[in-house]
Structure 1
Amino acid sequence: MTDQNDLLLKRFDQVGLLVRDIDEAAQKFEDVLGLTATVKREAQDEGYRAAIIPLRVGRILLLQPTTDDSPLAKQLEERGEGMHHVSFHVEDVEQATEEIKGRGAEFIVHEAQQGITGKNTIISPTSTGGVPVEIKETTLFTPGTSRDIGLHHVTIRTEDVGTAAATWQHLFRMPLKRRAVSEGFGMDTAWLDAGDAEVEFAQDLRDDGPVARALKLMGEGLHAVVLETDDPVAVEERVRAAGVRIIVDDGEPTNVLRAVHPLDFLGTLVLISQRDAAHAGMNRTQPAEDAAH
């Protein structure tokens, strides 16, 4: 097990979603998944409103542009609603920023600024395979109101799993937990340690698979947020009762995934997993030092 003191990114803080209306989006989370937004704030100078949905592990941040000429508004117009960024907690944001810059990363926000949940800088998606990455000294904590649903990992679609995972390992000193091919789901995957959660890189083994299709449409970047629960069947029933499509994928018997359809849910692919399920490679014995080869 990785020593927490060795991690630059101490824990996974949040997944940011870009939405048209945070009140409607927060209600959608309440109706479909039973998750409640406990904090709503407005950043007038930055031109956005935000709502925080705490989970048992991690949290969801909803972002709504409030001006038409902001970068968030332009992205919403170009790409629509969906996953926007990931955020990690660090002990010293200035020190972490300098270390990551020294490893070759480009930044969108170069100097630490005070955000809604803490002091942060933001790494350019050109350095991270299409994913804006926020590093932050968290000052606003929102203990999870749900004792059941927590973040297990985020999935990043990529054209080359080995290269993408090695880039994040180099930039962020993230340990590689495992590298595995999931025959059931048709994916080549690599998994990095994010403290209390994981980051998965996924590459389709088929040209017509879901990740391959998304790559053709949108390029590399955030693909899915994976939530785990003690009772995925109950969550599935709640999703269906809300009139939202959900697809059950039993490609691997040890890890049945229930996919909330992104066209029905804020442009975001949410996968529901059994808590402590055996995700790809967890039952295999491939040494981590061999996984990038």
Structure 2
Amino acid sequence: MIRDVHHVGIAVRDMAEAYAFYRDALGLAVVKEGEVSARGVKAALLAVGHSYLELVQPTEEGSPFAKHIAERGEGLHHIGLLADDVDSQVARLNELAVLLEDHEPREGFTGRLSYLSPLAFDGALLEVVQPEKEQGARSKEEGGQPDWRDQLAAWRITRIDHVVLHVPSVDAACRRFEEYFGVPTKRRIERGPRSFAFLRPGDVIIEVIGPNDGGDPESGRIAGLAFEVKGIDELAEWLKEKGYPVGEPHAALQGGRIVSVHHSGACGVPVAFIDFS
């Protein structure tokens, strides 16, 4: 069974630039980093509440992450779903004849894992992963967190609130999440020409969006990432001072207040911050 979103994977051109935003500006702690020669990448894991961001920079032209960046640009790459037992989960996917990139779990940067084929979710890439152990934050001397995080800050990021999937058929995506992973749909909304579904396997919400009349069969993608934050006005001012393209906090449809950073300032990722306090 799937218990939560373990991590959200981001393909980046330059790890130093990614660190400048996600570690140094947002204050997220690095818990692991290293080279993955078999995939032609270097990677880093940053803690966000009980979940993580995985930053991945290709180091070889033949890397699948280099191909992704060449075709789509840097940005959101995959969602890593936390499995209780990855072997049983992958066996179930094989029994259901789900299209997989890895028909057997393999050792990866975040644990034992298996990628589904992007065709399994109409172009959006999902992974099931069973981490070896929980990662602890590294010290600032080890490059794990910025110096200013030692001081009391007027704002803080508490967790990943949700990740957004754009798909051609919300109905089909919801059926697959329940059949493949045992994750039911919690809520459905129709708004104009679009349909919305909300799934919550654990702490992180998966928001699925699609057209009411269907779309291109392979047009699915991971389209957005939102963090929960305390102190949204102070965060917005902090990011403006750092020179990032951030808007003004305003009322959010789901309650609370929301502010966004343009994807050009977040390594290709449309990032939002929500304050429910």
> TM-score band (shorter)?
0.7 to 0.9
Task: Give the Cα–Cα distance (whole angstroms) in 2 for the partners of residues 142 and 68 of structure 1.
Answer: 30
C-alpha deviations, 1:39-92, integer Å up to 9, x for none?
211112221100111011311000011111122111111211100001112122
- In structure 2, the residue matched to 1:274 is 275
* Secondary structure of 1:135 counterpart: strand
54-63 or 153-162: bigger deviation: 153-162
Deviations 1:264-286 (A, max 9, x none): 2100011111147xxxxxxxxxx
Structure 1 residue 9 corresponds to structure 2 residue 2: yes
CA gap 1:159/1:127 in 2 versus in 1, 3 angstroms: same
SS at match of 1:15: strand
2:177 maps to 1:149? no
Q: Distance in 2 between matches of 1:264 and 1:57?
A: 25
- 2:169–2:211: 8 Å Cα contact kept in structure 1? no
1:174 partnered with 2:174? no
Q: How many residues align?
A: 259
Residue 41 (structure 2) pairs with residue 48 (structure 1) = yes
Distance 1:178 1:253 in 2: 12
- Note the alpha carbon deviations across 1:160-210, whole angstroms, 9 max, x for none: 322222222222110211112468xx85310112212111101368x9xxx
**Aligned-partner SS, 1:246:** coil
Give the secondary structure class of the aligned counterpart of 1:27: helix
Query: What residue number does 1:3 align with?
Result: none
Distance 1:275 1:112 in 2: 38
TM-score by length of 2: 0.84
Alignment of 1:182-261 (within 5 A): 188-203=195-210, 219-248=219-248, 249-250=250-251, 252=253, 254-261=255-262
Supply the distance in 2 between the matched residues of 1:271 and 1:171 (Cα, whole angstroms). 29
Q: Structure 1 residue aligned with 2:65, among 55, 64, 72?
A: 72
How much has 1:143 moved relative to structure 2?
4.3
- Deviation digits for residues 121-149 of structure 1, max 9, x if unmatched? 11111011322111111114224689743
TM-score, with normalisation over the residues of structure 1? 0.80
**Paired position in structure 1 for 2:140:** none
Contact 1:26/1:37 (<8 A) preserved? no
Cα gap change, 1:182/1:150 in structure 2, threshold over 3 Å: closer, same or farther? farther
User: How far 1:251 moved relative to its partner?
Assistant: 5.5
Structure 1 CA distance for aligned equivalents of residues 117 and 109 of structure 2: 20
The answer to whether the Cα contact below 8 Å between 2:165 and 2:221 also exists between their aligned partners in 1 is yes
Higher mean alpha-carbon deviation, 41-50 vs 137-146, is at 137-146
Query: What are the ranges of 5 or more consecutive residues in structure 2 without an aligned counterpart?
Result: 138-144, 150-155
> What is the rounded CA distance, in whole Å, between the counterparts of 1:237 and 1:100 in structure 2?
46
d(CA) in 1 for partners of 2:179, 2:170 = 14
State the Cα deviation string for residues 233-257 of structure 1 (Å, max 9, x = none).
Answer: 2221122111111234535382432
Aligned with 2:119: secondary structure? coil
Q: CA deviation at 1:31?
A: 3.6
Q: Give yes or no for the alignment of 1:124 onto 2:117.
A: yes
In 2, distance between residues paired with 1:129 and 1:247?
31
After TM superposition, the structure 1 stretch with the greater mean CA deviation from structure 2, 129-138 or 196-205, is: 196-205
Q: Distance in 2 between matches of 1:125 and 1:167?
A: 13
CA distance in 2, matches of 1:143, 1:128: 32
Identity %: 25
Q: 1:134, 1:83 → 2: CA distance?
A: 13
Residue identity in the other structure for 2:183? M
The AA in structure 2 aligned to 1:259 is S
| 1:88 maps to amino acid | L
Q: Is the 8 A contact 2:4 2:200 kept in 1?
A: no
Task: Look up the match of 1:160.
Answer: 169
Which is further off, 262-271 or 186-195?
186-195
Distance 1:202 1:253, change over 3 A: closer
For 1:84, the equivalent position in structure 2 comes to 77
Out of 106, 115, 120, the position equivalent to 1:113 is 106
Secondary structure at the residue paired with 2:44?
Answer: strand
How has the CA–CA distance of structure 1 residues 140 and 96 changed in structure 2, closer, same or farther, with 3 Å as cutoff? same
Residue 78 of structure 2 aligns to a residue whose secondary structure is strand
